[in-house]
Amino acid sequence: LFGLLLVILVTNEYTFRTNRQNIIDGWERKQFVYAKLVWVLLLATTAFVMAGLTALVSGAVYSTTPFSIEGFVYLFYYFLQVLLTLSFALLLSVWVKRAGFAIVIFLGYTMMLEQTGVFLLKKYAGKVGGLLPLQTGDELLPFPLVGKMINSSADRYDDSTYLLFLVLYIALAIYLVFRKVLKSDL
């Protein structure tokens, strides 16, 4: 949902030419990108805080053991996963500039195209399929029941590998956004 919100926010800047007016009023192009990155960070932080509060409330209500931060690293992984998804949404928004097309591409890629690619790569090339952009976050946050039923550790890399690729994909998306905004004609 946050990805769709970001796509709409950014593409509206292009549709209503708000970005052009901001540049005319004295903003630099970098400031435009920084403003969008603030949205990315705010939305990712909101998701992180909501997930943390949900975990705290659920743990307080349903737990029989005292408070523990044992699995807190998964909240950090979740934050990075949301940050990657929002960076990807920002990249699509800046490159496509049309809300309808960007939403269709975003949903098509996240729900179908990448999942199909992951399935095919894992089937024919092994664990390389887990290194596709959005799948790296999914690999860091496995479903607990699947891990108990199937030994999936044999067909996956170490968490540090997925973490490295996740951070690299975030950096690449932000670099491409800067490159597009700084080089393109408004």
Q: Which of 62-66, 73-77, 78-82, 137-141 comes out lowest in average pLDDT?
A: 62-66
Q: How far is CA 150 from CA 29, 71, 79, 119, 130, in A?
A: 49, 21, 26, 16, 17
Inter-residue contact 177 to 94 (CB < 8 Å): yes
CA quadruple 17, 184, 174, 42: dihedral, nearest 10: -10
Using alpha carbons, list the distances in angstroms from residue 4 to 12, 20, 30, 94, 179.
12, 22, 23, 13, 22
Q: What is the pLDDT of residues 77-127, one digit of tens each?
A: 999 999 999 999 999 999 998 999 999 999 999 999 999 999 999 899 888
Using a pLDDT cut of 70, give the percent of the chain over it: 94
Residue 144 — pLDDT band, cuts 50, 70, 90? low
Give the integer Cα–Cα distance in Å for 141 and 174: 23
CA dihedral of residues 135, 141, 146, 152 (deg, nearest 10): 70
